[in-house]
């Protein structure tokens, strides 16, 4: 069923019905084909998207900006640190004022306990759709690209086993939002989701409760295991990445806890525990040879480049449908 989502925000996929998400996937597939055919699709001609970043990005910035240009519009890049936000512009002011200048507001703010509230405050004040480019709790466009990729590579996602696993990293305390959004979206689509993580790396309780309810409604499952190998066993999709422990208060404390789990890494030997046709996924950037060996991320099971490409298509679909 195709549904109309004009004017809607996308802050978490939980705010959209399954039918609305299916509409987004159908639009993404359509736009991807149009691009492959070289068929112009200027659905947002003369429209401008504000992209406001409080945190660094490669893929998200590039794919929103390229996507908006391909749709015939323009994406305006802003960083909080080089605007008057650093001198006091409030979320309400940003939502109300930038909503009068542009046709959509996309925001990345991953500050723990701040980001999601900030985006929701902006959305309350904005007259145009607000899109979450990643907050402390959710990374909806990453999860949408992930599920689109799973559907392309493995067909109907219902009853596929998805291993969403913690993996060790040392670069920085990565947001928990990728794992949370993926668990939430995969359970909407009937997948058998296996969350593998050490005890210190639990997801937020209310996210787990929502994901369990999603699984009950869709006919999927949600299980938690505390061993890396138990997560991998027979999985159709291996998605292992690092995130920070909820209880930590500093990078030092996080590094200390994460240092207990340096063996939580996908290498060829471990990947062999998954289904022989399993795909390996990571949202990138990866800590190579900590989260995953070069051999695996560059190997035949890896779909990380197709996964990154699909960010473009799902985001174009969301912009075209909402703006």
Chain residues that interact with ligand CP, rule: CB under 6 A: 57-60, 134, 142, 283-284
Q: What is the secondary structure of 134-190 as a DSSP string?
A: EESS--HHHHHHHHHHHHHHHS--TT-EEEEEE----SS---SHHHHHHHHHHHHTT
Shortest Cβ 62–ligand CP spacing (Å): 8
Shortest Cβ 73–ligand CP spacing (Å): 20
Nearer to ligand CP, 134 or 180 (CB): 134
Shortest Cβ 105–ligand CP spacing (Å): 17
Nearer to ligand CP, 99 or 140 (CB): 140
Nearer to ligand CP, 222 or 291 (CB): 291
Q: Which helix (H) or strand (E) holds 193?
A: strand 192-196
CA–CA separation, 191 and 161 (whole Å): 6
Q: Which residues contact 41 (CB under 8 A, 6 or more apart)?
A: 31, 34, 35, 70, 71, 72, 320
Nearer to ligand CP, 43 or 135 (CB): 135
CA–CA separation, 294 and 302 (whole Å): 10
Shortest Cβ 19–ligand CP spacing (Å): 26
Shortest Cβ 223–ligand CP spacing (Å): 25
CA–CA separation, 177 and 108 (whole Å): 12
Shortest Cβ 60–ligand CP spacing (Å): 3
SS3 of 115, please? helix
SS3 of 220, please? coil
Residue nearest to ligand CP (CB): 60
Nearer to ligand CP, 129 or 175 (CB): 175
Q: Write the CA distances from 284 to 3, 12, 223, 258, 291, integer angstroms.
A: 32, 20, 25, 19, 11
Nearer to ligand CP, 59 or 197 (CB): 59
């Amino acid at each position: 069923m195709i549904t109309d989502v004009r004017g809607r925000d996308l802050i978490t996929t939980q705010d959209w019905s399954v039918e609305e998400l299916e509409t987004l996937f159908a639009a993404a597939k359509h736009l991807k084909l149009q691009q492959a055919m070289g068929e112009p699709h200027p659905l947002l001609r003369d429209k401008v998207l504000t992209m406001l970043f409080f945190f660094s990005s490669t893929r998200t910035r590039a794919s929103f900006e390229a996507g908006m240009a391909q749709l015939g519009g323009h994406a305006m890049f802003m960083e909080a640190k080089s605007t008057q936000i650093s001198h006091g512009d409030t979320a309400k002011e940003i939502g109300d004022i930038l909503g009068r200048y542009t046709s959509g507001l996309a925001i990345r703010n991953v500050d723990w306990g701040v980001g999601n509230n900030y985006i929701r405050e902006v959305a309350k004040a904005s007259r145009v759709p607000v899109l979450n480019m990643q907050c402390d709790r959710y990374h909806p466009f990453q999860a949408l690209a992930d599920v689109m990729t799973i559907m392309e590579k493995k067909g109907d996602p219902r009853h596929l086993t998805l291993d969403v696993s913690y993996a060790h990293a040392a670069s920085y305390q990565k947001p928990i939002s990728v794992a949370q959004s993926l668990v939430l979206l995969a359970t909407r689509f009937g997948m058998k989701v296996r969350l593998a993580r050490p005890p210190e790396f639990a997801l937020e309780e209310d996210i787990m409760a929502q994901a369990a309810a999603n699984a009950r409604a869709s006919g999927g499952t949600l299980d938690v295991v505390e061993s890396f190998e138990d997560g991998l066993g027979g999985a159709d999709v291996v998605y292992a990445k690092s995130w920070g422990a909820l209880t930590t208060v500093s990078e030092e404390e996080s590094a200390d806890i994460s240092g207990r789990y340096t063996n939580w890494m996908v290498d060829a030997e471990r990947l062999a525990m998954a289904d022989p046709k399993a795909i390996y996924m990571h949202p990138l950037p990866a800590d190579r040879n900590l989260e995953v060996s070069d051999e695996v991320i560059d190997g035949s099971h890896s779909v990380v480049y197709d996964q990154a490409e699909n960010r473009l298509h799902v985001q174009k679909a969301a912009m075209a449908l909402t703006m």
